[in-house]
Amino acid sequence: MKPMKSNKFIQQLQSNCVLVSTRSIGEILFGCPPGIVKWFIGRGRPIPSVVVLPRDFLIDNRLNVEPEFPIYGNFFIQKRRVTIIGTGDQLRRIKRVFRESFLGPRGVKEGKRERDFLSARTEDGKALKVEDLVNLIPFRRDREGVRIDGVTIKTTRPGYFEIWEAGVLLGEVDTTVFKLPSYPPDLFKEKPLEPPTFGVSFVGTGSGFNPFRRTTSFILWVNGKGIFVDPVTDPWVELNKLGIEDMDVPSVLLTHCHADHDAGMIRAAIHQRRIRLITSRVVFESFSRKAKALAGFDIEKYVDFVEINPGDTYELGNASIRVSSALHPIPTIRFESRFDDGRSKKPLKIAYSGDTCLNRNKIETMYRRSIIDEERLNELLHFGFDADLYIHEAGEEAIHTSVEEFQRLPEQIREKLILVHAGDLPRDLKGLRVAQEGETVELIPATTSSRDVIELIASNSIFEGLKREAIVRIAEQAALIPFKAGQNLVTQGEKGDRFYLIALGRAKVLVDNAMKAVLGKGDYFGEISLLSGKPRNATVQAISDGSVLAIGKETFLEVAREEPSVNQRLQSILTLRPIISRLTFLKDLPADQLARLSICFEKYSCRKGDRIVEQEQRGDAFFILTSGRAIVQIRDKAGCERIVAELGPGDVFGEIALLRNIPRTATVEITSDSAELLELRERDFHSLMGSIPSLSFYLNRISSERLRKLAKCNPDDLDGRLLRELA
């Protein structure tokens, strides 16, 4: 990242956040990434009351702007309004977000009187409006900038700002160079977690204002598969730190739409693997509107929505999740998960309160005022009491639950209680237990069975689609071998005698001691040497402890000979994976996903003058240019063609017609003497878009950018529906 020009007025707090000090209005915050209020609270500094929005709300598929907690912190802690400055469009989006999260979704009648009772009010008892908490100031078009009490903030181009005070230029801030924190690709805990059969792993245990803890988030484990409850801002990185494989966490459960619970949801959705999003219809639609406003993000395109409304039960074989409504100012769900292991006298139960106000006086007041009936009274006062593990929030008292309420509970309840969403807790908790980040509580420990081995083989890109008998035969002849961090699993130059599937842990691929890739659960290695008969072309070294499923050379080659689909897949992988893995927009995909892409693509050569796609023709394929050059031409209604873009190695084309179901919008012609392309047919394209959300998001984004450019060049030729979509 280009360094910011720092001086005595300007301080770079993070790679995506800058602080500017002024005499007239104090500190101005440029950028407001998730969790930034914790930086100020942890250092005993006031949260700035003036915030300037950066150009980009989303960077590298991660949320870069979270306006809620700077607003909450200023209003509820510092008793003042915050001023947010941005473009007119940005402020309209921020207002939509804040209405959704602070006032709650409109038209939800169920539980409205409860929520109104808890909601914050003005001194004269009126319901708060957005304008009571935040002052939104748009940049003027005359380039004079925004003036606040002697300070002027000017913008000369999108995302670039000058700060003036008393006629003196204090400095310049360029938010276009903002980057999110980066992490080493081999980041992973040395001792990986073997997922419990039934239990929880705590990722974060704090509130949105607690500077010493991540915001509350945890994994609910059911039969060794995880459900990520309210994912933290960078969820998959945090799982790596805890030694948890993302492959083992195929689902997310979202309790409500406050930023300390949903800030990681976009990143969770734009992932290499499609996830299930479990929540109520109200919460899903509310978050959909927030995501659309913040990032232009259509959540329904990237997740499989599992609707579970208050009173519903989601069945998971021998387990279930039952949802009910928590007591909170906006619609919020809580849940009880039951697990029947077939041996215990009764099912085991884990209960989670969600954000709720377990305040007996307030609840009984609602009952006396007929806001709730007797059934709801008992439900609120006794939820989770019969659970074997009772997870409860302990946040700021106004809309959450004080420690004193827990201390009044019977001892047999307190013994099963574990607190999360911890705010400023007293020193003496009198025996109450607070969850620790990274802690796993197992009600039923992890188990490994032959079924797990069969599932691992069957889900692999090479063996996927084989009959069960063939999978079982491979499993019976395979061996599960443990390894330790730092151990070489195979060594470059040695003779290959086995094929390996990673069952647990991480490893890195080294060629001449340079790291080329990181492998995780479900990824494989060793096939090239077995098929070619040549020595190993790389070293695979363990990053963590773990285990591999080793399949002998004879078994592997026998399967390749007897199963034509396996042999065909292997040949495609050997030929195309080296090419695909070099493409920048695919570099973060897991090795097994790259192999799946290799199986679907076809490679072919072309010559100068070849027209790969023609404007107005039906689109039936997507292309990646891997070598050579090409031009993109559009033809107007008069039949005149003009060049609007040039393409080089790594560029893609053909996605617009497939994504939008419209004819080709341009012609692509090869201009170099020769070129090579990868082609993906329509059916495979849509299959991959559905299974790899990060790839789908990338292609949807660039197709929108290209259509906007095309609308400027040739608006008369664009369908009216598309023009409205791009507006």
Give the CA radius of gyration of the chain.
28
Report the distance separating Cα 230 and Cα 214, nearest Å.
12
Distances (CA, A) of 55 to 16, 89, 161, 425, 536: 11, 11, 10, 38, 48
Residue type, 132: D
User: How do strand 225-229 and strand 251-253 relate by DSSP bridges?
Assistant: parallel
Residue 586 has φ and ψ, to the nearest 5°, of: -110, 0
Bridge-based pairing state of the strands 251-253 and 641-647: unpaired
Give CA–CA dist 624/698, Å, rounded: 14
* Tens digit of each residue's pLDDT (9 = 90 or more) over 116-135: 999 888 888 888 888 999 99
Which residue in 419, 410, 360, 409 sits closest to 389, CA to CA? 419
Q: Check: CB of residue 66 under 8 Å from CB of residue 101.
A: no
pLDDT class of 544 with cuts at 50, 70, 90: very high
Q: What is the per-residue DSSP string for 98-137?
A: HIIIII--TT--TTHHHHHHHS-B-TTSPBP-HHHHEEEE
CB 121 within 8 A of CB 128: yes
* Average pLDDT of span 94-117: 92
pLDDT digits (tens, 9 = 90+) for 484-539: 999 999 999 999 999 999 999 999 999 999 999 999 999 999 999 999 999 999 99
- The Cα–Cα gap between 131 and 135 comes to 6
Give the model's pLDDT for residue 641: 87
- In angstroms, rounded to a whole number, what is the distance separating the alpha carbons of residues 68 and 261? 12
- pLDDT value of residue 422: 84
Q: Encode pLDDT of 206-239 as tens digits.
A: 999 999 999 999 999 999 999 999 999 999 999 9
DSSP per-residue codes, 371-393: SS-HHHHHHHHHTTTT-SEEEEE
Give phi and psi for 77, each to the nearest 5.
-100, -45
Q: Does residue 656 register a pLDDT over 60?
A: yes
Three-state DSSP class for residue 76: helix
Supply the pLDDT for residue 727. Answer: 37
- Helix, strand or coil for residue 42? helix
Tens-digit pLDDT profile for residues 55-94:
999 888 888 999 999 999 999 899 999 999 999 999 999 9
Mean pLDDT of 295-311: 93
Mean pLDDT, residues 411-430 taken together: 87
Identity at 673, one-letter amino acid code? D
**pLDDT-derived band of residue 23, with 50, 70 and 90 as boundaries?**
very high
Q: Rounded distance, CA 411 to CA 495, Å?
A: 63
Residue 724: pLDDT band (50, 70, 90) is very low
Q: Indicate the Cα dihedral angle 564, 567, 568, 572, nearest 10°.
A: 170
Q: Read off the pTM.
A: 0.93
Mean pLDDT of 706-716: 76
Of 632 and 395, more confident: 632
Beta-strand pair 498-504/524-525: antiparallel
Write out the DSSP string of 289-347: HHHHHHH---GGGTEEEEE--TT-EEEETTEEEEEEE--SSS--EEEEEEE--SSSSS-
Q: In this model, does residue 600 exceed pLDDT 70?
A: yes
Q: pLDDT averaged over the chain?
A: 91
The answer to whether the beta carbons of residues 223 and 319 sit under 8 Å apart is yes
3-state SS assignment for residue 285: helix
Average the pLDDT over 437-449 and give the result: 91
- For residue 62, the model assigns a pLDDT of 85
103 has a pLDDT exceeding 80? yes
Residues 692-705 have pLDDT tens digits of 999 999 999 899 88
Please say whether the beta carbons of 338 and 347 come within 8 A. Answer: yes
Look at residue 719 and tell me whether its pLDDT is greater than 60. no
SS3 letters for 613-678?
A: ECCCCCCCEEEEEEECCEEEEEECCCCCEEEEEEECCCCEECHHHHHHCCCCCCEEEECCCEEEEE
Q: Taken in order 487, 493, 497, 501, is the CA torsion positive or negative? A: positive
Cβ(382)–Cβ(356) below 8 Å: no
The helix (run of H) or strand (run of E) holding residue 370 is none
Angle subtended by helix axes 591-600 and 564-580, to nearest 10: 110
Of the ranges 104-108, 140-144, 488-492, which is most confident? Answer: 488-492
pLDDT at 6: 62
Helical packing angle, 564-580 and 553-562, nearest 10°? 110
Q: Is the confidence at residue 721, as pLDDT, over 50?
A: no
Whether 714 has a pLDDT exceeding 70, the answer reads no
Residue type, 652: V
Stretch 26-39: mean pLDDT: 94
Confidence of residue 717 (pLDDT cuts 50, 70, 90): low
Per-residue pLDDT for 48 more than 70? yes
Q: How far is CA 534 from CA 86, 131, 218, 526, 652, in A?
A: 60, 70, 46, 11, 34
**Residue 583 in 3-state DSSP?**
coil
Give the pLDDT of residue 396.
73
> b/e string for 54-64 if b means 16 or more Cβ within 10 A?
bbbbbbebbbb
**Paired sense of beta strands 498-504 and 507-511, if any:** unpaired
- Token pair in block for residue 184: 């080493």
* Model pLDDT, residue 120: 84
Confidence check: pLDDT of 391 > 50:
yes
Q: What is the pLDDT of residue 587?
A: 79
Q: Can you give the three-state secondary structure of 206-243, one letter per residue?
A: ECCCCCCCCECEEEEEECCEEEEECCCCCHHHHHHHCC
**If pLDDT is split at 50, 70 and 90, which confidence band does 359 have?**
very high
Eight-state DSSP code of residue 422: B
User: Does 361 have pLDDT greater than 90?
Assistant: yes
Percent pLDDT > 90 in the chain is 76
Task: Give the bridge partners for 29, in sequence order.
Answer: 19, 51
Partnered with residue 257 across adjacent β-strands are: none
- Which phi and psi (to 5°) does residue 579 adopt? -75, -50
Please say whether the beta carbons of 394 and 401 come within 8 A. Answer: yes
Measured N-to-C along each axis, helices 682-691 and 591-600 cross at an angle, to the nearest 10 degrees, of 160
